Amino acid sequence: MEQATLQTPLGMATILGDRNGIRAIRVTDHSEGEDSIPPALAEACGQLREYFNGERTVFDLPLAPEGTDFQQTVWQALLGIPYGKTISYMDLAKQLGDPAAIRAVAAANGKNPLWIVIPCHRVIGSDGSLTGYAGGIHRKKWLLNHESANPQQSLF
C-alpha cells in the first residue's frame, strides 16, 4: 500500500492505494508538508487538485475501498449522485429498495473510506439538514457550497 499527502482547502488529505485502486482518503486538520507522490497515486492527487480548483466534477479513478457487501452497495449508489445535487438518507434507502434500512444506509455512508471521490457529503437529512459527516459538518457544508451553482458568500 502506498501513501500520498495533499494539502486541500479542508485540511491535509492522506490518500492510500496502489496500482489496483484507491483504498482510502482521509482528511485531518494537521498541516504537515506534502510527501512525494508515488506514481500509483499521482492521478488521484491530480484529480483531487482539479476538484478543489473547480475544474473537475466527476472522478475517474480505479477504486478499491474495503467494506461489507452492503457497504459496497451503498457506496456504489453514492457514486450515482451528481455533482451539485443532494439526496436524503431516506431517498437513498428507498433507491436501494428498503426504506426500513435508513439507519443501516446512514451507517454505511458514515463508513465510506473514500472522502469526496465517493460523495457521501451529498447525502442530507430529509428536512434538508446537514446531519452527520465523518469529516465534520464544517467540511460537509464547505463541499456542498463548493459544488453549488450559487455558492453562498460569507458576510463576515
Out of 6, 40, 93, 120, which one is annotated catalytic? 120
Looking at the chain, which runs of residues are DSSP E strands? Answer: 2-8, 11-18, 21-28, 87-88, 123-124
Q: Is 120 annotated as catalytic?
A: yes
**C-alpha grid cell for residue 105?**
444506509
Looking at 9-88, which runs of residues are DSSP E strands? Answer: 11-18, 21-28, 87-88
**C-alpha grid cell for residue 26?**
482521509
Of 57, 90, 95, nearest to 76 (Cα)?
95
Pairing of strands 21-28, 11-18: antiparallel
Q: Across-strand partners of 13?
A: 6, 27
Question: Which residues are marked as active site?
Answer: 120
